[in-house]
Amino acid sequence: MAAEIFYTTPAQEIVSTRVFNTTQQNLFQAWANPKYLKNWWGPKGFTNTFNEFDFREGGKWSFIMHGPDKGNYANECEFIKIIEPSLIAWKRHSKPLFQVVASFEEISHQQTKLVFKMIFDTAEECEKLKPFVVDKNEENFDKLEAVLLSMKV
């Protein structure tokens, strides 16, 4: 059974947004299809090995992020809510613990706004990661933009 999305206060959230010049469906597919996702997920210099990607509510996403420092970072996640083409949410079961809600809002046929929200159990946990995560999310979105340009519509 999939967990419910954890709703919280702004002090427990890191929110990053960007408007992409692509359709809502295309942006959703860049997140929902592992052949695209593995090529852009993570900050600059990171690559991924996906071990499991069961894209359904209650499904597991298990992967290793390979850092430019030669470090390997295991990630275990569970999809908790999927509404095509407007929302994907998951819960991390590996540290640091948080939930992610990614929403895709159509602005026009060729523009879609991404709202990427990381939700922490406490404001303290959120504040610990905020100095690092905000810039890294932007690097992640830069890589996503490059993949979107290469995707066949």
pLDDT in tens, 47-94: 999 999 999 999 999 999 999 988 999 999 999 999 999 999 999 999
| Confidence bin at 4 (pLDDT 50/70/90) | low
**pLDDT, tens digit (0-9, with 9 covering 90-100), for 107-146:** 999 999 999 999 999 999 999 999 999 999 999 999 999 9
109 SS3 class: coil
Mean pLDDT throughout 96-115? 96
Q: How many CB atoms lie within 10 A of CB 137?
A: 18
Mean pLDDT throughout 22-42? 97
Please report the pLDDT score of residue 10 as a whole number: 87
Please report the pLDDT score of residue 95 as a whole number: 92
What is the rounded CA–CA span in Å between residue 32 and residue 4?
19
Q: Is the pLDDT of residue 16 over 70?
A: yes
Please report the pLDDT score of residue 152 as a whole number: 62
Please report the pLDDT score of residue 1 as a whole number: 42
The model's pTM is: 0.92
Of 137, 116, 149, 136, the C-alpha closest to 36 is: 149
Secondary element (H or E) of residue 52: strand 47-53
| Confidence bin at 153 (pLDDT 50/70/90) | low
**Interstrand relation of 87-92 and 60-66 (parallel, antiparallel or unpaired):** unpaired
CATH of 34-150, one of 3.30.530.20, 3.40.140.10, 3.40.640.10, 3.40.50.11540: 3.30.530.20
Q: Is the pLDDT of residue 5 over 90?
A: no
What is the rounded CA–CA span in Å between residue 98 and residue 2?
15
| Cβ within 8 Å of residue 79, ≥6 positions away | 2, 54, 55, 56, 57, 58, 59, 60, 61, 88, 89, 90
Secondary element (H or E) of residue 65: strand 60-66
Q: Residue 134 corresponds to which tokens in the numbers above? A: 């905000």
